[in-house]
Amino acid sequence: MFLNHFEYFAPQAAKDALDLCDRLGAKAKILAGGTDLLNLMKDKLLKPEYLIDINNVDEFKGIFYEPGKGAVIGAATKISEIERSEIIREKYFALHQAAGELGSVQVRNMATIGGNICNASPAAETPTPLVALGAKVVISSLSGDREMPLEEFILGNGETALAEGEILTKFLLPEPISGSVSRYGYIGLRDAMEIDAVNLAVNLALGEDGRIIKQLKLVMGSVFPRPLVSEEAPEILIGKEFSAELAEEAARAASSESKPISDIRASAEYRREIVAVLSRRLLQEAFSAAQGEV
């Protein structure tokens, strides 16, 4: 399998990367881990004239945490670094779980979190937990930075809010509120190296008493062209005392909000059922873990 001919750039400084992006516009593609991009090029679905490799730009990499403020994750940070990060495990558990489920060891060593988001596959691993955790993205260009919630950045299958000349440079994760816990789960056809049929993340916070639900975000993946935030589950649960019956009701509501398609991995009907199963399971898990926190 061959790649089309292109010119290759490997800038070291953010400024140079942005400069190249600005100058080369739509004829160029950003190369991060290459695990999506090079496959698309091998299949002749993309034929960029230029590749801008951002792996040598230190400013685009790394995980930084400041107590009370939250975490900043560089877009070119490898999935394996996120999987191994102690602070991500401690504060943003759903993201830690999702990172550990992406592809294989080799894929995780190559793939970046920015690539996972910019590729914008509805079945991708990290958008669901990132949305549940309230992540924002920072988009940079020569004219400066702009910020937006991740929900608004992913527009549909393969579509994002990135304009010509822009690079996704950072993810901003807010400090989790006290008493909160996040969980991620997925169902596929086999355990390893599988594209998810459905994935789901919940971010749940309990009040001081350890019973009343103070905050909840439930996000579904692979059942809509972009991550789908449940509106009904929080309405059912917030302000109430947690119970298995209420969790069941919220899970059913999320299931009816989902709009899956049938494809080779699963039928729409199966996916809807799995949304309910995962919702119930993760709500229960998050609740039990949150009780341990308060």
Partner 1 sequence: MKQLIALDINDQIYEVPVDPWDLLSDVIRKKVRLTGTKKGCEQGDCGACTVLINGQAVLSCLTLAIACQGKKITTIEGLAEQDGRLHPIQQSFVDYGAVQCGFCTSGMILSSKALLDSNPKPGREEIKRALSGNLCRCTGYKKIIEAVEVASETMSKEGVK
The residue ranges that bind ligand FAD (CB under 6 A) are 29-37, 39, 75, 102-103, 107, 110-112, 114-116, 118-119, 124-125, 162, 167-168, 193
The closest alpha carbon to 120, from 154, 95, 166, belongs to 154
Q: Which does 192 bind (CB under 5 to 8 A by kind): partner 1, ligand FAD, none?
A: partner 1
| Footprint of partner 1 on 110-169 (CB under 8 A) | 110
For 164-210, give the DSSP string: TT-EEEEEEEEPPPTTEEEEEEEE-SSSSS---SEEEEEEEEE-TTS
8 touches partner 1 by CB under 8 A: yes
Q: How many CA atoms lie within 13 A of 103 on its CB side?
A: 20
Give the distance between the most distant pair of CA atoms in the chain: 63
Q: In what order do the strands lie in the sheet with 70-74?
A: 63-66, 70-74, 167-174, 136-141, 144-149
Nearer to partner 1, 76 or 276 (CB): 76
Least distance between partner 1 and beta carbon 80 (Å): 8
Candidates 7, 49, 269, 293: give the one binding partner 1 (CB under 8 A).
7
State the Cα torsion 104-106-108-112 to the nearest 10°: -140
Options 28, 76, 80, 170; binder of partner 1; rule CB under 8 A: 80
Assess 241 for contact with partner 1 (CB under 8 A).
Answer: no
Q: Interface with partner 1 by CB under 8 A: which residues?
A: 1-8, 10, 31, 34-35, 38-39, 42, 51, 53, 55, 80, 103-107, 109-110, 191-193
